[in-house]
Structure 1
C-alpha cells in the first residue's frame, strides 16, 4: 500500500511495495478534507482493502481553531464615573439636589463637590467610593462643579474637593474640605453623623438662605423657599 499526499509528500511502506504498480485499491490522502468517498477495488486480489478519497477546495492549513472573543473591558468611563455604588448619585440639577435632600428622611446625605480638572478630587475618589460601600445606609450625592457653577456659587462652594453632611431635621450637620492626606476628617464625620440612633424627624434639606440663592438665579422655584420654611417650623413645633 502507498500513501500519497498531494501537498508534495510521498510515503512508502517498504522498497518492495514501492516497486509494485499502484493498485486501484491504494490509500490516497489529499491536502484538504471535507467529503469522504469509499470505492471497492475492481480487483480484490490486487487490493483487499478499500480506497479512501479525500477531496475538497480548502487546504488543511486553513482550518484554525479560534477561541470565542470576549468583550474588551470598558475603558470609556471617566475617573469620576468609576467604582460607583448604588448609594452614589450624580446630581443633574439644583431641583434634583433639593428633592434628594428632602426625600432622604433621616438618612445621612453627603454632598461631594468635585471637578474633573481637580487632581485632589481624582486622588480622593477611590476612597470615597470605598466609604460609600461601607456605609450603604448613607446617600452620596456627587456634584460636578464644571457643570453646575451657578449652583455651587449659590451654595458658597469656594474650594474643591468639598463635602457637606445633611441629616434629618438638623439640616446641615457639618461641612469641610479634605484631601487624600486628611481623609480621617471624612471618616470621623461619617462615624459621628452616620451612626447616630437619635430620631431626627423629617429632612430639612438646604438652608432657607441657600434655597433663596438658588431661586434668585432661577435654578429652582421660589415656592420651594416658602414651603421649606413652613415645613421646618412645623417640624420644630412638633418636636417641642
Structure 2
C-alpha cells in the first residue's frame, strides 16, 4: 500500500509540480471555459432565431401568399436543412470539416472550434426553444397582438420570457453537454485541458494522473453547473408563487 501511495505521489509530482506543469492545466482550463461560454452564447442566438422562423412558419395561415411568405418559406427550408445536417452528423466530423476544410488556412484553432461548437449547439437549442415557445398558451400571442404589438415584439416581450422558464432544464443539459464536448477540440491543436493532458503524458509517459485529473476537473465543473442551475430553477419557481 505504501508503495502504491508513493507511486501516486510521484506521478502527481511529475504531472503538476515538475517544470510548473500545473500551468498547462490552468491555461487549458481557461481555454475550455472560454470556448464553452462563447459557443453557448452563439448557440443560444442561432437557436432563438431558427426557432422563431420555424414557429412563425408553422403558425401562419394556410394558403397565405405574398412576398413575406415566400421569404419565410425560404428561411424555413434553410433552417430545416441546417437542423437535419447538424443533428444528423457527429460533432467530431463537423469540427474537422470546419477546421481542416472550410477554414483550412486559419491557424486560430480556438476561434474555429468556438464557431463549430456554436453552430452545433444552435441546432439543439433551436429545438429546445421551439418546444418552449409551443408550450406557451396560444392566447398569449393573441393577447400581445390585441395590445398593438407586432409578432416580433410579442415574441420578445411575452412569449420568449415565459418559454425560458419551460426550457431552462433542457438548456442546462445542453450547456453541460457542450462543456464536455469541448474536449474534442484538441484535434485542432487548441491548447485546452485535453491538450495539456496529452502534452504532459508525452513527457512523463504516465497517462494515469493527467487523464484522471482532466476527468475530475470536468466532473467538478458539471457538478457546479448542475448546482447553479438547480438554485436558479428554485428561485424562478419561488418568484412565480409570489
- TM-score under structure 2 length normalisation: 0.26
Tell me: higher relative CO, structure 1 or 2? Use CA pairs within 8 A at least 6 residues apart.
2
Judging by fraction of residues, say which structure has more helix.
2
- TM-score under structure 1 length normalisation: 0.26
